[in-house]
Structure 1
Amino acid sequence: MDLTLSQRYKIETYLEEGYSNSLISDKINVHKSTVGRELKRCDHLDRYDAVYAHKRYLKKKCKQTGFHSSTIEYKDEILSALEVNQYSPEQIVNRKRLEGGSFPCVETVYQIIYSQMSQNPSLKEHLRHHKKKRRPRASKETRGKLTNRKNIRTRPIEADNRSEIGHWEADVVIGTKARSAVLVTLVDRKSGYLLVGKANSKSENDVGATLLSMYERTPIPWYTITFDNGKEFACHQKIEELCNTVAYFADPYSSWQRGTNENTNGLLRQYFPKGQSMEDVLLKYISKIENKLNNRPRKRYGFYSPIELINNIDINAA
């Protein structure tokens, strides 16, 4: 069975978290022998590298050293979509097919990109990578307490099954220091529409003020918001009152319950890598990245973009 690059990224992540081959195979729905063979692609390295393994796979699959003349004509279009829009190869192919006409397959697009890396090494930076898992905080917690929380299990069915636009997941993306500026993110569960704001710190007052400013510029309703259990969200009752919404909280240590936001934060890390200070990040730049991601085609939405979905809610985005 051929693995996708997405599956290889998941293997890399699960290995870093200490999962066994058998458990990884269950997670990505393949036989455990497939995982074992896959790991051999990097057996000469000190760790499994998803991008390196996928590159070896593509080279083995395509024995020819060049491309057909009918494929070369797409090179500039592919490189532009990668460098300017940061589309993944899968997004490039399926978006072009959605717009009509023929286009090379995903494997061929990867080959074209890799064939240009010797001349333009920066291309690799535009291919999205998983980062190492975050370290636990060592500092003492000094922020507010969470009270009067509503559990995620009491959330309306429209939020759970993504049948209605206006049900959000919230999170913060931290910079270099716990007490420095952070990004506040909100993602609509149905459309994937993203809002990004900047708070001066991770305190409940700063995060709350940022959420209010985000609410004022939102083009779609806030029926519900699902938070994690970070104390920066002790402002939830104020947000409920001022934003005409209902706040819910995920179970502790259950990031999968807010998978939409977790995945979107991974996309943001392409532009705001871990270790980067958020102090000097301009609001204009944040707005630019927000707009870029909202206009990026998504596989789960049939390669429509979030902005297209909220502007045409009749499109089936389930």
Structure 2
Amino acid sequence: MYRPAGTSFSDRYLDRDERYEIARMLEAGSSQATIARALGRSPSTISRELRRNSLPRPARSAGSAGSAGSAGSAGSAGSAGSAGSGHPDGPGPSRTGQRYEPERADTLAWQRQRRPRASVWQTRPHLRARVQQMLDKRLSPEQIAGRLRLEFPLDDPGRQADNQLMHVSHETIYRALYVHPRGELTRALKGRLRSGRSQRKPRNRRESRGTIPGMVSIHERPEDVAGRLVPGHHEGDLIKGSTASNSAIGTIVERHSGYVSLLHLPDGWHAEHVAAAVTTQMSAYPTWFARTLTWDRGKEMSQHQKITQNTGIQVYFADPYSPQQRPSNENTNGLLREYFPKGSDLSIHDAAHLQAVADELNDRPRKRLGFLTPAEVFASLQAQASVATTA
């Protein structure tokens, strides 16, 4: 069955005229690279076209081969010339024993386009299940794709083929959720995606900020804190609940690993309560993982000197209305709003629930960590510190 007249592909596909030009140039002995330049296509497009749409060349009998050999060099030269320079078997890639017929190639391509193809989600149930599992944990498609490459590496010769089947691009995941008419991935999982929220609005200015006694500016912080190479430097802030509840949750993020800690503040977010919660949390870390803390200029941190006295951690304060000076914490606070919506009563969440949310974030692979999780990076740092201590 040939492609009916009047039907066409989009411009991204080769058309019938281009296929006739390919055949003509092959007949003339042109290379695939030359053909690609002439058509304004990539060499890979021409190579793929010949590989997919060429036909097997009929085998020649021994007698025919012998006759060709006895015909003499002049005859051989004449035959080669009629078939095209460099292509003694006629049109097409002779090295593969195939021939390229443009009309037939056009029909094959048309039939292939019309044939419904099973999606990756239908043919790889294990991949589908793993992706759904990760979406349920609120991982983004990019994080999922990167984590799969980490979990199923291709450098294991014995598992390379199987592991390749567990790889998928983030664009494919997005298409499965939003583009395809069939439900390749559970539609309910759309809600699990971290939506691309609009640009963060400026925070309402705090009322009566006042002056924090003994405040040390972020500009006095050691230079190595600005990078992320040295572990132990943290950023912190509060996320607020509804005005009626006057509730808040403390958030602390370690810059090197992205490790998150959430502070339960059942008695409110006055300075003494925040100082006590920060002291308890930071004291639980090894000293090499608790060096500094950079906080917003909120009055809830007015007892920072008690924190330093009890833990040895120096507290630094960002400039007013400068969330960009605490990027790790600001990003984490945005993620936490998926769990603790603005305007809600945050006092209903107990310490166990806060720990569960922190654990989920710490088990989320991060692109900047090579798709390792903050928990994995923290564990690796602990192991290194243990070796250094016993050495």
CA, structure 1 residues 161+140, in 2 after alignment: closer, same or farther (shift >3 Å)?
closer
CA distance in 2 between counterparts of 1:117 and 1:280 reads 36
Equivalence for 2:259 = 193
Equivalence for 2:271 = 204
Matched position secondary structure for 2:262 = strand
Equivalence for 1:97 = 149
CA, structure 1 residues 228+163, in 2 after alignment: closer, same or farther (shift >3 Å)?
same
The answer to whether the 8 Å contact 2:206/2:298 transfers is no
Equivalence for 2:346 = 278
CA, structure 1 residues 281+305, in 2 after alignment: closer, same or farther (shift >3 Å)?
same
The answer to whether the 8 Å contact 1:144/1:232 transfers is no
Q: State the 1:310 CA deviation.
A: 1.5
> 2:130 is aligned with what amino acid?
E
CA shift digits 1:179-224 (9 cap, x unpaired):
6221101111111011101213221112112112212333563211
* Structure 1 residue runs without a partner (length 5+): 1-63
- Which of 112, 118, 122 aligns to 2:176? It is 112
The answer to whether the 8 Å contact 1:75/1:112 transfers is no
CA shift digits 1:108-164 (9 cap, x unpaired):
0112233577995532221112267457548854x7741221111211122111221
The answer to whether the 8 Å contact 1:71/1:104 transfers is no
CA, structure 1 residues 126+150, in 2 after alignment: closer, same or farther (shift >3 Å)?
same
1:100-249 aligned within 5 A: 100=153, 101-102=163-164, 103-114=167-178, 120-129=186-195, 130=197, 133-134=200-201, 137=204, 140-141=207-208, 145-177=211-243, 180-199=246-265, 200-219=267-286, 221-249=289-317
CA distance in 2 between counterparts of 1:287 and 1:303 reads 22
Equivalence for 1:298 = 366
Higher relative contact order by CA 8 Å / sep ≥ 6: 1 or 2?
1
Matched position secondary structure for 1:149 = coil
> 2:273 is aligned with what amino acid?
D
Q: Name which one, 1 or 2, has greater alpha-carbon Rg.
A: 2
Q: State the 1:299 CA deviation.
A: 0.5
Matched position secondary structure for 2:230 = coil
> 1:232 is aligned with what amino acid?
E
Q: Say whether 1:81 aligns with 2:147.
A: no
CA distance in 2 between counterparts of 1:192 and 1:242 reads 24
CA distance in 2 between counterparts of 1:205 and 1:131 reads 35
CA distance in 2 between counterparts of 1:211 and 1:314 reads 21
CA distance in 1 between counterparts of 2:249 and 2:376 reads 24
The answer to whether the 8 Å contact 1:179/1:201 transfers is no
CA distance in 2 between counterparts of 1:154 and 1:140 reads 26
The answer to whether the 8 Å contact 2:177/2:184 transfers is no
CA distance in 2 between counterparts of 1:302 and 1:201 reads 38
CA, structure 1 residues 205+134, in 2 after alignment: closer, same or farther (shift >3 Å)?
farther
The answer to whether the 8 Å contact 2:177/2:185 transfers is no
The worse-fitting range, judged by mean Cα deviation, of 262-271 and 128-137 is: 128-137
* Structure 2 residue runs without a partner (length 5+): 1-115, 154-162, 384-391
The answer to whether the 8 Å contact 1:179/1:202 transfers is no
CA distance in 1 between counterparts of 2:183 and 2:274 reads 41
Matched position secondary structure for 2:289 = coil
The answer to whether the 8 Å contact 2:228/2:256 transfers is yes
CA shift digits 1:228-252 (9 cap, x unpaired):
1111111211111111111111111
The worse-fitting range, judged by mean Cα deviation, of 88-97 and 64-73 is: 64-73
CA distance in 2 between counterparts of 1:151 and 1:201 reads 26
The answer to whether the 8 Å contact 1:117/1:123 transfers is no
**Same amino acid, percent of matched pairs:** 33
> 1:67 is aligned with what amino acid?
S
> 1:201 is aligned with what amino acid?
G
> 1:75 is aligned with what amino acid?
R
The answer to whether the 8 Å contact 2:245/2:347 transfers is no
CA distance in 2 between counterparts of 1:196 and 1:182 reads 11
CA, structure 1 residues 172+79, in 2 after alignment: closer, same or farther (shift >3 Å)?
same
Equivalence for 2:160 = none
> 2:171 is aligned with what amino acid?
E
The answer to whether the 8 Å contact 2:294/2:317 transfers is yes
